[in-house]
Amino acid sequence: MISVGGRRLLVILLFCTTVTCSLPGCHEKEGNTKQLYYKTLSLFNATNPGFGLDTGQKKEHLHYPMTYALYACAEAHRALINKDRQALESATRSAGWLVEHNDLDMDGQVGWGLPFAWDAGGDGSINPSHTEYAITTALVIQGLLDTWDALNEFGDQSTELQPLLLQNALGGFRTFHDKYDSTSSGFVFWYSTAPQDNLHIINSHAMLVGQFQRLSTYPINEDIKHQIETLTRYGFDYLRNHRRKDSSGVIFWNYREDLPEGGISRPNDSCHEMYTLQGILDYQLYSQTKSPLVQKTDVAKNIQRFLEESWVREFPRGGEYPPSYQTILDRPARIWGLGYLLYLSARLDLNDLADSLYKILATQYAQQETLILRPDLEDVSFYPRFVAHALFGLSYYVW
């Protein structure tokens, strides 16, 4: 069990990795990276950063909880490192929206999803808008806890928002604490709260495991801590038992492992593999497990699978894919994948990888005064939910 003080120390050790550079050109580089961060930040509506268009809804501007969450993560990190009160206000404003809109489908369950109806499992069953999704809820919990940490660092514990951040993070746990399947290889959380979505999607499961374990280190009820730790321990077993290795011995995960007989379980794309790795890293960090599943070198090798000499892949080289994927395997990564690759590289001080990823972001995705979805598309629309992943990655790269 990590005490509040011990958990805070882990956060500081994790976040405070910036070193002073005196080499020629270093300050110019730092200025350019900050400039791109602030330019990216300015693309969002400062009052409602999660409001905008999306690839799944290109005609109507809607509010996207995932965007609010990642915006809060990026600005909370900037606030924590720089003691920047304006960044703190941005984070709290975004987190406050998530607290105020914690049950948009009005089913009595705290959780977050998408503002449009969607056939999540591709089985013809349409989930109504605001169905609670595991990945969105996990990212929102991350945003709430990041904001809590920033408020705590500023000594603003007296704010009315701070206790609500933990209450809502706990609400997300209560919504998903019984939405799992018990398998011979461990517990696996459902993809959403919809019964037809009891799918074993590895990346969203990993993110819930990581954020729930992190939540257990905060000042919450001891019985709930124990319940969380039990679930995450068995959830981590599932991740351990579904670890794969490619022909070069690089550890990776597939998108799902419960396909019907004859189905091909494909590797994750760039964004969803990074979700998986982050969930694992967070569980290892906050559980202080003595049996880690991945090390820093494993993450570096995994990220390298997506990086070509001058561009980033949507799907990694090698691996087995369904026939329908053969025409899209060599596509460039979408901006959210590149953003999350940058985040994990910067978080782990994988500096050469982070520098390469940043250069590709700045030269190929920064177009038409925005950050575009993919450099091989004519579509130059601003999609806040996707660009928020890049904002998050830039926050860790710059600071």
Query: Which pLDDT belongs to residue 121?
Result: 86
Give the range among 8-22, 155-169, 204-218, 267-281 with minimum mean pLDDT. Answer: 8-22
Q: Assign residue 12 the CATH number of its domain.
A: 1.50.10.10
Buried b (16+ CB within 10 A) or exposed e, 238-269: bbeebeeebeeebbbbbbbbeeeeeeebbbbb
The residues, any chain, with a CB within 8 Å of residue 6's CB and separated by 6 or more, are none
CB 288: neighbour CB atoms within 10 A? 12
| CA distances, 162 to each of 152, 153, 156, 168, 346 (Å) | 8, 12, 8, 10, 28
Give me the residues paired with residue 201 across strands.
Answer: 256
Quickly tell me which residue has 């379980």 as its tokens: 265
Name the average pLDDT for the chain: 93
The pLDDT tens digits for 340-382 are 999 999 999 999 999 999 999 999 999 999 999 999 999 999 9
- Are the C-beta atoms of 59 and 378 separated by less than 8 Å? no
**Domain with 149 in it:** 4-398
Distance of CA 85 to the CA centre of its chain: 24
* Packing angle of the helix pair 134-153, 4-15 (nearest 10 deg): 100
**Which tokens in the block code for residue 131?**
């169905």
What is the reported pTM?
A: 0.94
Query: Residue 14 pLDDT more than 60?
Result: no
Residues in the chain: 399
User: How many Å apart are CA 138 and CA 144, to the nearest integer?
Assistant: 10
The residues, any chain, with a CB within 8 Å of residue 86's CB and separated by 6 or more, are none
Domain count, the chain: 1
Query: Residue 157 pLDDT more than 90?
Result: no
User: How many Å apart are CA 81 and CA 18, to the nearest integer?
Assistant: 9
Q: Which residue has the higher pLDDT, 262 or 103?
A: 103
Mean pLDDT of 90-108: 98
Q: In sequence order, which ranges of the chain are alpha helices (DSSP H)?
A: 4-15, 26-43, 65-82, 85-100, 134-153, 161-176, 202-215, 222-241, 270-287, 296-304, 335-347, 351-360, 384-398
Query: Which pLDDT belongs to residue 318?
Result: 81
